[in-house]
């Protein structure tokens, strides 16, 4: 961990300090029960990283991801995204960040129903203020590059899980965000499809330098990442370079290892 | 997201849920159609009454013989014969009165060629036509000299003329009234029904002198059935009534403290009551219709709330990909407004169609004004904004993570 920060200390994309998250629940007798989910998280992620977050179910992975994705707010602590304090942002600014800077990929795909793949991919552009026809043109272009052109006019329920997730990834990419957050993107997919999706992420990270933070509880999915963070009961217990990373190994072989850089 | 795109998104959402959209719209359609129909019926009734009142003549009193019966309004009961032609001439001289017309009435048999017809005969003076706001369709009214000479001339009501002559022009023809020949000098324009629903156009009018001497006969010479009195100005009707009463009491030598032997009725006041009644009726009809519009509006809010709940996930997804609160609010508000406006337009068409059917079937006057159309349109968009705003606001103020987690 120390060595990584030594390498990328310039301008972190994500910087989290002392971040806590707790939920207030109503107890059986009407009393308020505070359930703390994240404990004093400190985390720095630099541009271009490919991070896997692992941990048991209920360890707080999704909670952390939602905060990173500006979908949720922390109870305390600070979150700096590309040097900007997220806590100080207005609702409109957060919407703008979600639109422009973050592509979120969900386990359940979360495509808009009864809407074609093309329109699903085009919608973030509409929210960016781009006209419908221009948005569709760009969405089609992207679908062509991701090999989904022939499914452009299909609605989500006419697509396989893998195809839906690739549409969802296209949607996350349409505004060319510097950061992709994926919460168990392969959780609903079979092994072969999972592998294809992971190769897509890997390629995006390698070829376009997109920072990827990915949650998984499967070890073989985590192997695609270059850095591995392990959460346990709301604490970060491991944060290390991913020894098992095929990429890291390949790059090491090429003399391009992160550490030797 | 610009407004144009948001409208597109809202339209798409409405199309995706045709059944729900249709059912919600139905509430709006019924509401607006009811409002338009009710308002047009109410407006029609008011217009009809106003026309009748205008046709009746302005600033009118009706003076009938006999004391004011308790609440009864019985003109020409015939039992009392206290009013005379000379009373009418004397009243006409009062400063606040512009004209009077004494009237005797009876029922007579008319003959022309092979046709005969039974109707009411009115014996009166030429003033009757101006006081009662009667207009001449063809020919002329009888004259003062006809009155003096008790000439056998007659003016026909439009219905009577039609019944005796059909399409023939009656003016210049001779008809027989109780077997005496009378020259037709004029035909009146139709007035339609009176406020009390009597057909005013089935009658014949002759000089009162002729009537008294040759037709109805009179066991009390000079007595009349009633007199029409026209005041000079609408503002002085109260003064006019006092003047008429004082003059007649004086002429009839009624001692102080004794009851009048005549009754003065202010017809304009009666007309005002009728106008007010029609106004109240149209307001009540409008209120009933508004309730159905309100119910339609609540239906819309209900559906919008269900829709927002049902689409919470969709809202979460939209927020996650960059929709701000305003975009969500506008989309849902526009959806509600579009339902209302489309429903309003369809309701308007249905309402106008319904009004047309009612006017045909029930033979009622139906009036549709631009104001009504505007009102229905304005009201339906207002309902849309009002009832669409709450669910839209609810949707827009959701936290993205909560919306996404919603099952
Ligand atoms: N909205 C919420 N209200 C209360 N508790 C919550 C809420 N969301 C998550 N939690 C709790 O937070 C803990 C972590 O959840 P989560 O981050 O989804 O775990 P993971 O994604 O690692 O499986 C769980 O114990 C869960 O019950
Ligand atoms: Mg999770």
Mean pLDDT (whole number) for B367-382: 79
Rounded distance from Cα B328 to ligand 1 centre (Å): 26
Judging contacts by C-beta atoms under 8 Å, the chain B residues touching residue A69 are: 320
Ligand 1 first shell, C-beta below 6 A: A 23, 25, 35, 37, 55, 57-63
ipTM of this complex prediction, to 2 decimal places? 0.89
Residue B75 pLDDT > 80, yes or no? no
Residue B73 pLDDT > 70, yes or no? no
| Atom 12, ligand 1: residue with shortest CA distance | A37
Closest Cα partner for A181 from A20, A14, A10, A4?
A: A14
Of the two residues B3 and B108, the one the predictor is more confident about is B108
Percentage of residues of chain A with pLDDT beyond 70 = 89
Per-residue pLDDT band for A6 (boundaries 50, 70, 90) equals very low
Most A CBs within 10 Å: which of B7, B21, B320, as the mutation test of the A interface? B320
Rounded distance from Cα A58 to ligand 1 centre (Å): 6
| Atom 26, ligand 1: residue with shortest CA distance | A58
E strands, B125-252, where?
136-139, 153-156, 174-177, 180-188, 203-207, 226-231
CA of A213, closest CA in chain B: separation in Å? 16
Ligand 1 atom closest to residue A66's alpha carbon, by position in its atom list: 17
- In chain A, which residues touch B (CB < 8 A)? 66, 69-73, 91-92, 95-96, 98-100, 104, 106, 110-115, 123-124, 126-129, 131-132, 171, 175
**Chain segment A75-113, per-residue pLDDT in tens:** 999 999 999 999 999 999 999 999 999 999 999 999 998
Q: Which two tokens stand for residue A202?
A: 């890997």
Q: Which two tokens stand for residue A185?
A: 């993107």
- Asked which of A33-42, B33-42, B105-114, B351-360 is least confident by mean pLDDT, the reply is B33-42
Closest Cα partner for B98 from B248, B262, B240?
A: B240
Q: Which helix (H) or strand (E) holds A177?
A: none
Residues A220, A212: Cα–Cα separation, whole Å:
17
* pTM across the whole model: 0.69
Residue A8's pLDDT is 40
**Chain segment A11-47, per-residue pLDDT in tens:** 899 999 999 999 998 888 888 899 999 999 999 999 9
Q: Which of A174-178, B22-26, B79-83 has the highest mean pLDDT?
A: A174-178
Q: Are B398 and B329 in contact (CB under 8 A)?
A: no
Closest Cα partner for A73 from A91, A57, A99?
A: A91
SS3 at position A181: strand
Per-residue pLDDT band for B113 (boundaries 50, 70, 90) equals confident
Kindly list the distances between the CA atom of residue B51 and the CA atoms of B55, B135, B202, B275, in Å, as whole numbers in the listed order: 6, 14, 19, 11
In a domain, A86, yes or no: no
Q: What is the DSSP string of B89-147?
A: HHHHTSTTEEEEEEEEEEEEEEEETTEEEEEEEEEE-THHHHHTT--EEEE----HHHH
Per-residue pLDDT band for B76 (boundaries 50, 70, 90) equals very low
Contact yes or no for B400 and A92 at CB 8 A:
no
Among partner residues B313, B327, B401, which is closest to A71 by beta-carbon distance? Answer: B401
Residue B67 pLDDT > 90, yes or no? no
3-state helix, strand, coil in chain A (%, to 5): 40, 25, 35
Q: Which residue of A has its CA nearest to B331?
A: A127
- Asked which of A128-137, A153-162, B68-77, B127-136 is least confident by mean pLDDT, the reply is B68-77
User: Which residues in A52-77 are b (16+ Cβ under 10 Å) and which e?
Assistant: bbbbeeebbbbbbbbbbbbbbebeeb
Residues A51, A214: Cα–Cα separation, whole Å:
6
Contact yes or no for B322 and A100 at CB 8 A:
yes
Q: Which two tokens stand for residue A95?
A: 């919407």
User: Which residues in B218-242 are b (16+ Cβ under 10 Å) and which e?
Assistant: beeeebbbbbbbbbbeeeebeebbe
Residue B269's pLDDT is 81
According to DSSP, residue B214 is labeled: I
Range of the domain at A208: 47-74+91-258
Per-residue pLDDT band for A4 (boundaries 50, 70, 90) equals very low
Contact yes or no for A95 and B322 at CB 8 A:
yes
CA angle B132, B134, B138 (to 5 degrees): 160
In a domain, A22, yes or no: no
Residue B321's pLDDT is 96
Mean pLDDT (whole number) for A212-224: 93
Residue A5 pLDDT > 70, yes or no? no
CA angle B109, B114, B118 (to 5 degrees): 20
- Asked which of A16-25, A225-234, B194-203 is least confident by mean pLDDT, the reply is B194-203
SS3 at position A40: strand
In a domain, A84, yes or no: no
SS3 at position B160: helix
Phi and psi dihedrals of B231, rounded to 5? Answer: -80, 160
**For B297, what's the count of Cα atoms within 13 Å in the CB-facing half-sphere?**
20
Residue B265 pLDDT > 80, yes or no? yes
Instruction: Enumerate residues 6+ apart whose C-beta is below 8 A from B333.
Output: B385, B388, B389, B392
Contact yes or no for A126 and B320 at CB 8 A:
no
Chain A interface includes B318 (CB < 8 A) = yes
Q: Which two tokens stand for residue B224?
A: 């009349």
In a domain, A7, yes or no: no
Residue B1's pLDDT is 65
Per-residue pLDDT band for A253 (boundaries 50, 70, 90) equals very low
| CATH number where A168 lies | 3.40.50.300
User: Which residues in A148-173 are b (16+ Cβ under 10 Å) and which e?
Assistant: beebbebbbeebebbbbbbbbbbbbb
Mean pLDDT (whole number) for B218-228: 82
Residues A181, A66: Cα–Cα separation, whole Å:
9
- Asked which of A14-28, A50-64, B121-135, B336-350 is least confident by mean pLDDT, the reply is B336-350
CA of B390, closest CA in chain A: separation in Å? 19
In a domain, A34, yes or no: no
SS3 at position A129: coil
Q: Which two tokens stand for residue B374?
A: 């505007």
Judging contacts by C-beta atoms under 8 Å, the chain A residues touching residue B331 are: none
In a domain, A13, yes or no: no
**Chain segment B136-169, per-residue pLDDT in tens:** 999 999 999 999 999 999 999 999 999 999 889 9
Domain count of the fold of chain A? 1
In a domain, A239, yes or no: yes
Residues A236, A229: Cα–Cα separation, whole Å:
7
**Probe ligand 1: pick from A19, A25, A32, A37, max atoms within 8 Å of CB?**
A37
Residue A1 pLDDT > 50, yes or no? no
Closest Cα partner for B403 from B331, B326, B303, B308?
A: B308
Q: Which helix (H) or strand (E) holds A60?
A: none
CA of B297, closest CA in chain A: separation in Å? 27
Contact yes or no for A114 and B5 at CB 8 A:
no
Chain A interface includes B9 (CB < 8 A) = yes
Chain A interface includes B106 (CB < 8 A) = no
According to DSSP, residue B196 is labeled: T
Ligand 1 atom closest to residue A59's alpha carbon, by position in its atom list: 22
Closest Cα partner for B331 from B364, B291, B358, B304?
A: B304
Among partner residues A92, A113, A127, which is closest to B1 by beta-carbon distance? Answer: A127
Looking at every residue in chain A, the average pLDDT score rounds to 89
Q: Are B244 and B62 in contact (CB under 8 A)?
A: no
In a domain, A38, yes or no: no
Per-residue pLDDT band for B192 (boundaries 50, 70, 90) equals confident
Q: What is the count of residue pairs from A and B with beta carbons less than 8 Å apart?
A: 74
| Atom 27, ligand 1: residue with shortest CA distance | A58
Rounded distance from Cα A58 to ligand 2 centre (Å): 7
The pairing of beta strand B180-188 with beta strand B153-156: parallel
3-state helix, strand, coil in chain B (%, to 5): 55, 20, 25
Mean pLDDT (whole number) for B86-115: 92
Residue B79's pLDDT is 53
Of the two residues B197 and B105, the one the predictor is more confident about is B105
User: Is residue B205 left, alpha or beta, with left meaning phi > 0 and alpha meaning psi from -120 to 50?
Assistant: beta
Residues B397, B324: Cα–Cα separation, whole Å:
10
Tell me the CA end-to-end span of chain B in Å, nearest whole number.
27
Rounded distance from Cα A200 to ligand 2 centre (Å): 22
Residue B74's pLDDT is 47
Percentage of residues of chain B with pLDDT beyond 70 = 96
Rounded distance from Cα A63 to ligand 2 centre (Å): 7
- Asked which of A106-120, B26-40, B208-222 is least confident by mean pLDDT, the reply is B208-222
């Amino acid at each position: 961990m120390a060595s990584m920060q030594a390498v990328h200390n310039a301008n972190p994309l994500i910087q989290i300090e002392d971040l806590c998250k707790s939920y207030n629940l109503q107890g059986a007798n009407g009393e308020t029960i505070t359930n703390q989910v994240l404990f004093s998280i400190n985390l720095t992620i630099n541009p271009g990283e490919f991070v896997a977050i692992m941990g048991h179910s209920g360890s707080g992975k999704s909670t952390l991801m939602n905060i990173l994705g500006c979908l949720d707010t922390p109870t305390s602590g600070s979150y700096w995204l590309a040097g900007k304090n997220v806590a100080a942002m207005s609702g409109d600014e957060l919407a703008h960040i979600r639109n422009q800077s973050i592509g979120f990929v969900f386990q359940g795909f979360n495509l808009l129903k009864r809407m074609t793949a093309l329109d699903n991919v085009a919608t973030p552009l509409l929210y960016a203020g781009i006209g419908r026809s221009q948005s569709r043109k760009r969405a089609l272009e992207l679908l062509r590059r991701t090999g989904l052109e022939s499914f452009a006019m299909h609605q989500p329920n006419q697509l396989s899980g893998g195809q839906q997730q690739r549409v969802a990834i296209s949607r996350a990419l349409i505004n060319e965000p510097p950061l992709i957050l994926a919460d168990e993107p392969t959780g609903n997919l079979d092994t072969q499809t999972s592998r294809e999706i992971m190769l897509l992420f890997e390629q995006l990270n390698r070829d376009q330098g997109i920072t990827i933070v990915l949650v998984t509880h499967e070890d073989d999915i985590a192997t695609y990442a270059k850095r591995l963070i392990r959460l346990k009961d709301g604490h970060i217990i491991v944060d290390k370079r991913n020894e098992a990373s095929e990429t890291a190994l390949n790059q090491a072989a090429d003399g391009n290892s992160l550490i030797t850089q | 997201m610009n407004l144009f795109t948001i409208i597109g998104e809202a339209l798409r959402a409405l199309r995706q849920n045709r059944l729900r959209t249709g059912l919600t719209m139905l509430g709006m359609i019924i509401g607006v159609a009811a409002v338009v129909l009710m308002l047009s019926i109410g407006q029609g009734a008011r217009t009809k009454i106003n026309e009748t009142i205008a046709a009746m003549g302005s600033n009118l009193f009706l003076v009938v013989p006999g004391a004011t019966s308790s609440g009864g309004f019985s003109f020409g009961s015939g039992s009392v014969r206290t009013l005379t032609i000379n009373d009418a001439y004397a009243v006409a001289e009062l400063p606040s009165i512009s004209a009077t017309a004494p009237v005797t009435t009876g029922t007579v048999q008319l003959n022309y060629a092979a046709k005969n017809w039974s109707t009411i005969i009115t014996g009166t003076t030429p003033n009757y036509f101006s006081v009662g706001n009667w207009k001449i369709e063809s020919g002329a009214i009888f004259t003062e000299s006809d009155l003096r000479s008790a000439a056998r001339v007659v003016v026909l009501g439009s219905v009577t003329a039609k019944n005796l002559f059909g399409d023939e022009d009656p003016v210049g023809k001779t008809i027989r009234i109780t077997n005496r020949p009378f020259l037709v000098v004029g035909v009146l324009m139709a007035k339609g029904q009176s406020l009390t629903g009597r057909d005013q156009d089935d009658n014949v009018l002759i000089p009162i002198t002729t009537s008294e001497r040759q037709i109805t006969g009179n066991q009390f010479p000079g007595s009349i059935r009633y007199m029409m009195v026209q005041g000079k100005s609408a503002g002085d009707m109260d003064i006019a009534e006092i003047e008429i009463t004082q003059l007649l009491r004086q002429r009839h030598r009624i001692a102080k403290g004794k009851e009048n032997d005549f009754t003065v009725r202010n017809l304009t006041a009666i007309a005002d009551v009728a106008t007010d009644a029609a106004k109240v009726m149209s307001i009540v009809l409008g209120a009933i219709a508004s309730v159905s519009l309100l119910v339609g509006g609540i239906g819309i809010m209900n559906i919008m709330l269900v829709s927002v709940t049902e689409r919470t996930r969709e809202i979460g997804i939209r927020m996650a990909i960059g929709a701000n609160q305003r975009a969500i609010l506008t989309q849902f508000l526009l959806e509600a407004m579009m339902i209302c406006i489309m429903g309003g337009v369809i309701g308007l068409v249905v309402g106008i169609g319904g009004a047309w059917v009612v006017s045909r079937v029930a033979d009622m006057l139906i009036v549709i004004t631009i104001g009504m159309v505007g009102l229905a349109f304005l009201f339906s968009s207002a309902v849309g904004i009002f009832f669409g705003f709450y669910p839209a606001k609810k949707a827009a103020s959701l936290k993205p993570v909560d919306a996404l987690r919603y099952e």
